[in-house]
Amino acid sequence: MAAAPAPITRLFDGIATPAAGRHTLDRPHTFAFFSVPHLVVGRMRGRFHTLNGTITIADDPRASTVGVQIETASVSTQNETRDEDLRSSRFLDVAAFPRMTYRGGGWTAAGEPTLRDVTRPVALEGGFIGAILDPSERARLAFQASAAFSRKEFGLTAELERESGGFLLGRDISVEIHAEAIRSDEERP
């Protein structure tokens, strides 16, 4: 008789949390979006297509960690001219800074993104959404998080002032992350 699969969730302080273990972000099912005010009334939106990372759930979830690397050249706003400008030294400077990272810990994923070699604390709001055994019988976790920060804090100082005194792009960046992670420390047959 086959052994029962290990549980993929548990209760911790009365809250459903993932079971302890190491999980790798599933790239086709993980999305990092951003938006910034545009011409005061609208929003310019984009995403990064290439990212990798791990989430390690500790026995005490408050000691969990997350580490993510995002390839800055993978930025896309569905406008190649704008994307090339974002990749330039005016913004992401992908030649000098090919990756941005996020390292965090604790159940709230309080952590520090590093962008253009500048690291600042940024707390992610959100958290664990749920878990399931996928069709390959691997534990799959879902997370959602958001944050906002000043782009000036990370050296993204191209303000693009207009003659009217307004800004083409606003000062604050909003980030939204939807992630699925697959248990990577399980023994596979």
Buried b (16+ CB within 10 A) or exposed e, 142-179: bbebebebebebbebeeeeeeeeeebebbeebbbbbbb
For the chain, percent of residues with pLDDT exceeding 90: 59
What residue spans define the domains of the chain? Answer: 17-126+145-183
CB-CB contact of 27 with 60 (8 Å): no
Kindly report the CATH number that applies to the domain delimited by 17-126+145-183. Answer: 2.40.128.110
**Residue 97: its pLDDT value, please?**
96
Of 28-42, 127-141, 159-173, give the range with the top mean pLDDT.
127-141
> How confident is the model over 37-63, as a mean pLDDT?
89
For residue 50, give the nearest of 33, 77, 69 by alpha carbon: 69
The one-letter amino acid code at 43 reads R
Please determine, for residue 164, whether its predicted confidence score (pLDDT) is greater than 60: no
List the single range of 31-35, 39-43, 68-72, 114-118 with lowest mean pLDDT: 39-43
pTM above 0.85, yes or no: no
Determine the 3-state secondary structure of 160 from DSSP.
coil
What confidence category does residue 109 fall into, taking pLDDT thresholds of 50, 70 and 90?
low
The 10s digit of each residue's pLDDT in 26-48 is 999 999 999 988 777 788 899 99
Of 121, 115, 123, give the one whose Cα is nearest residue 155.
115
Pairing label, strands 51-57, 21-25: antiparallel
